[in-house]
Structure 1
Amino acid sequence: MDDTAPRRGSVATSHPAAPGPLQLFCFPYAGGSSRLYADWEAGLPPNVRVRAVEPPGRGRRFREAPHDRLEPLVADLLPELVAERNTPYALFGYSLGALVAFELARTMEQRHGCPPVHLCVGAFRAPHLRRTAVPDYNLPEPLFRERLRAFNGTPEAVLADDSLMELMIPILRADLAVADTYRFSADRPLSCPITAFAGSEDEEVDVSSVAQWRRHTSADFSLKVIEGDHFFLHEQQPEMLRRLSEILTGAPEARRG
């Protein structure tokens, strides 16, 4: 595979990439798209450029089949990061996006020798912790819809709209399969700092499992507990952006930029 050839349309940015700014690649949760991060740049330091990642199957890539395993998804998104390997960059991943960002960070460090300046993850258990619940992705459709309702991330109006759900369910099943079938492969910790965000009332991912991201870095680790459930990303967006601004302003490469 040619890691140096970016896939067209997989990253959205409101500004052209430039050598000085810090590139912040943002990865969505299951079923999410780059639109999750459409207004983030306005709430971050002026030297930060938000690079909202678009996985296949949605947004500008809606005609492409979504990946249902992590390895091909990482291979799909990796060229965008490789293209920026000479530019300071950080990664932010939420829920499923945290797992994707983590494996991309490991690949960038191990294969290309250029880890991110910071890895930020939210609402996802540490990757070495095995999932013990029944996998969600292959539940019969009535149970699958009930599971989506329990996640509290899909509006009731969408759940009740069969035409919309017909479009969404294949993407959601594929995304959840990525997480449900993932098997952690032990390797040396990342050399970059990690900040992990957890929701204080998250019934899907408890704070203690998010805290265990600590073992995946040989640098600094910080746990930030934000008020809210599994989707505190939306409920507490101003607070999230404030915390991220502090983190990204503190990155040595960001200060030089």
Structure 2
Amino acid sequence: MLLYCFPHAGGAESLYRAWAEELAPDAEVRVLGRGSRPSTVAPAAPVTALASALADRLRAENGPFAFLGHSLGALIAFETARELRSKGAPGPHTLIASGHVAPHLPSPGPELADLPTVKFWEEVRLLGGTPPELMESEALREVAEPGLRAEFRAAEGYRYSPGLPLDCPVLALAGTEDDRAPAELMAPWRMHTTGDFELQLVPGGHFFIAENTACVLDSVRSRLTAAVR
């Protein structure tokens, strides 16, 4: 099965590509990050615009596939699944939503997109998940800042549009110490599918996906195996 991974804002695609060997032969990992963003979609485009463009790319997919998204990536994965349905194309066999509250709920925590530079990077550091080499280099931060701000602006500007729930199973992964996406705000993901739903807690903060990778991969592998069955 193909596993399409949707990274978080500022997320290093290498984190997800490193899963390929761990998940083989159960899944072939493909990352839909900044490097694969359709050229017709601007960096600051709304989540729904990016999802629509990604759905156009994926609608010809023949084999079974699953989606996994973390933080902003969870929203993009969810909206891409909705867009595939609206275009009359097959959707994912399962959706794994990690580290983001249910789509219809507001996200807790401060908004980062329009903060002054110093404060912006302070908050990014506290949030975690950004490559150390970026955080330690002023020159790299200066280059990365516009694109990273655009991704936060897309996430913070997202507004859920009511519609029919998905019909695929949904697995929600929540960090036990994640105040950005606590378990009680991830449980309502169950409202967005008529299929099976499961909420799993993973030890760690907002970026438990990197802090506790082995636990995350065990959950992903189990879910993909169930989807194939």
What TM-score comes out, normalization by structure 1 length? 0.82
Name the counterpart of 2:127: 151
Question: Number of residues paired by the alignment?
Answer: 228
Structure 1 residues 92 and 155: CA distance shift in structure 2, 3 A: closer
Q: Which amino acid aligns with 1:98?
A: A
- Asked if 1:79 corresponds to 2:52, the answer is no
Q: 1:54–1:61: 8 Å Cα contact kept in structure 2?
A: no
Q: 1:34–1:59: 8 Å Cα contact kept in structure 2?
A: no
Structure 1 residues 45 and 158: CA distance shift in structure 2, 3 A: closer
Structure 1 residue 240: Cα displacement: 1.0
- What are the Cα deviations for residues 30-78 of structure 1, in whole angstroms up to 9, with x where unaligned? 01243221121222251411111132xx58999x952342132223322
**Which deviates further from its counterpart, 209-218 or 129-138?**
129-138
Q: 2:5–2:16: 8 Å Cα contact kept in structure 1?
A: yes
**Which deviates further from its counterpart, 131-140 or 203-212?**
131-140
Structure 1 residue 134: Cα displacement: 4.6
- What are the Cα deviations for residues 74-131 of structure 1, in whole angstroms up to 9, with x where unaligned? 23322331121x3211100011100000000111123224121100010001000024
- What are the Cα deviations for residues 115-159 of structure 1, in whole angstroms up to 9, with x where unaligned? 211000100010000246553111111211111122022356533
Distance in 1 between residues matched to 2:217 and 2:109, nearest whole Å: 32
Distance in 1 between residues matched to 2:75 and 2:133, nearest whole Å: 29
Name the counterpart of 2:223: 247
Q: 2:107–2:181: 8 Å Cα contact kept in structure 1?
A: no
Q: 1:192–1:219: 8 Å Cα contact kept in structure 2?
A: yes
Name the counterpart of 2:31: 52
Structure 1 residues 31 and 46: CA distance shift in structure 2, 3 A: same
Name the counterpart of 1:39: 18
Structure 1 residues 132 and 41: CA distance shift in structure 2, 3 A: closer
- Asked if 1:23 corresponds to 2:2, the answer is yes
Q: 2:38–2:53: 8 Å Cα contact kept in structure 1?
A: no
Structure 1 residue 196: Cα displacement: 0.3
Q: Which has the larger radius of gyration?
A: 1
* Runs of at least 5 residues in structure 1 that lack an aligned partner in the other structure: 1-21
Q: 2:177–2:204: 8 Å Cα contact kept in structure 1?
A: yes
Three-state SS of the structure 1 residue aligned to 2:87 is helix
Name the counterpart of 1:220: 196
Q: Which amino acid aligns with 1:144?
A: F
Three-state SS of the structure 1 residue aligned to 2:217 is helix
Q: What is the aligned-residue identity percentage?
A: 38
Distance in 2 between residues matched to 1:50 and 1:80, nearest whole Å: 16
- What are the Cα deviations for residues 146-196 of structure 1, in whole angstroms up to 9, with x where unaligned? 111220223565334210101221121011111100010001110001000
Distance in 2 between residues matched to 1:72 and 1:123, nearest whole Å: 22
What TM-score comes out, normalization by structure 2 length? 0.91
Name the counterpart of 1:69: 46
- What are the Cα deviations for residues 194-220 of structure 1, in whole angstroms up to 9, with x where unaligned? 000000011222111111111101111
Three-state SS of the structure 2 residue aligned to 1:112 is coil
The alignment's C-alpha RMSD in Å is: 2.2
Three-state SS of the structure 1 residue aligned to 2:158 is coil
Distance in 2 between residues matched to 1:37 and 1:91, nearest whole Å: 12
Distance in 2 between residues matched to 1:51 and 1:152, nearest whole Å: 23
Q: 1:92–1:119: 8 Å Cα contact kept in structure 2?
A: yes
Name the counterpart of 1:202: 178
**Which deviates further from its counterpart, 165-174 or 126-135?**
126-135
Q: Which amino acid aligns with 2:55?
A: L
Q: 2:12–2:130: 8 Å Cα contact kept in structure 1?
A: no
